[in-house]
């Protein structure tokens, strides 16, 4: 089995694949500082909770937008799994060509999402990821990453509200019963959710219009993407496992049967 590790700003999402099947997935918070031993023991314990022995993992692939985590995480994979992991970075085969002005500025997570959306749903495709930031990435019919938009994510906006406005409470992010809110919590929920829906529709429509590529499929992912996707007709597909699937697809392009380190 292959273990995919997506290191985001908020969470580390781990997936385990048997071929194209997602056997299991789980999340670890990113912001807590950990040693390689802590990562190793945590990963092994979580795998065992999902009835997977760590010795069943034959290879590991990592995509990260948090450089400070990588030394400990790579060390954990080497020490506890005896595997030299594949790191998704410039030069690795992804199936996506980046033709923006500075390709090195495109995060590994966005490349992975682009690779998955293009291979699974075809091009041109517009990929939306509702994560810590909300990103909108356009891939043309030939698999070229041509443009991207980055906006604050819903959680960032929510955190700004309750941290910077003294009288506003920390709230659950969900769609209220009505946009015509009558008290503080539902008014905040309405502003956050309906504001994100409006932003999504405006950006998607203008990107498609300016791209002038004809019909473009819109694919969304990310934890809070489910809320938005169910409330707008500009999103064609919501795929919660898009990033993990992309990492598995990129792994297959490396033609590596095992990452085990020989004794």
**Domain of 184, in residue numbers:** 97-246
Extract the tokens encoding 40: 């190793």
- Coil, strand or helix: which one is 166? coil
255 assigned to some structural domain: no
Could you tell me which of 84, 70, 9 has the C-alpha nearest to residue 39?
Answer: 70
The pTM score is 0.89
H helix or E strand, kind and range, residue 167: none
Q: How far apart are CA 97 and CA 145, in angstroms?
A: 6
Q: How far apart are CA 215 and CA 121, in angstroms?
A: 13
Are 82 and 101 in the same domain? no
Pairing of strands 86-87, 97-98: unpaired
Per-residue model confidence as pLDDT tens for the chain (263 residues): 999 999 998 899 999 999 999 999 999 998 778 999 999 999 999 999 999 999 999 999 999 999 999 999 999 999 999 999 999 988 899 999 988 877 778 889 999 999 999 999 999 999 999 988 999 999 999 999 999 999 999 988 988 888 887 778 888 888 898 999 889 899 999 999 999 999 999 999 999 999 999 999 999 999 889 999 999 999 999 999 999 999 999 999 998 878 888 75
Would you please indicate which residues are annotated as catalytic (active-site) residues? 109
Are 68 and 124 in the same domain? no
Question: Which CATH number fits the domain that encloses residue 159?
Answer: 3.30.420.40
Are 66 and 156 in the same domain? no
CA pseudo-torsion sign 109, 121, 251, 247: positive
Are 207 and 130 in the same domain? yes
């Amino acid at each position: 089995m292959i273990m995919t590790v997506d290191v985001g700003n908020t969470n580390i999402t781990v997936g385990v694949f048997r071929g194209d099947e997602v056997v299991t997935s789980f999340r670890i918070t990113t912001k807590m500082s950990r040693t390689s031993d802590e990562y190793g023991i945590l990963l092994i314990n979580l795998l065992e909770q999902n009835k997977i022995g760590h010795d069943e993992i034959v290879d590991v692939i990592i995509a990260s937008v948090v450089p400070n985590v990588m030394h400990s995480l790579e060390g954990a994979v080497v020490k506890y799994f005896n595997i030299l992991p594949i790191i998704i970075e410039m030069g690795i085969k992804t199936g996506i060509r980046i033709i923006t002005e500075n390709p090195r500025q495109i995060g590994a997570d966005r490349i992975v999402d682009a690779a998955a959306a293009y291979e699974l749903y075809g091009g041109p495709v517009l990929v939306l990821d509702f994560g810590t930031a909300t990103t909108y990435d356009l891939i043309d019919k030939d698999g070229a990453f041509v443009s991207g938009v980055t906006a604050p994510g819903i959680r960032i906006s929510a955190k700004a509200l309750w941290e910077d406005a003294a009288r506003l409470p920390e709230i659950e992010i969900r769609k209220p019963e009505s946009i015509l809110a009558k008290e503080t919590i539902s008014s905040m929920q309405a502003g956050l959710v309906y504001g994100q829906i409006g932003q999504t529709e405006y950006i998607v429509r203008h990107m498609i219009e300016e791209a002038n590529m004809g019909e473009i499929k819109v694919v969304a992912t990310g934890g809070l993407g489910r809320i938005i996707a169910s409330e707008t007709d500009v999103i064609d597909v919501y795929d919660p496992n898009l990033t993990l699937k992309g990492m598995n697809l990129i792994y297959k392009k490396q033609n590596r049967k095992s990452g085990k380190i020989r004794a």
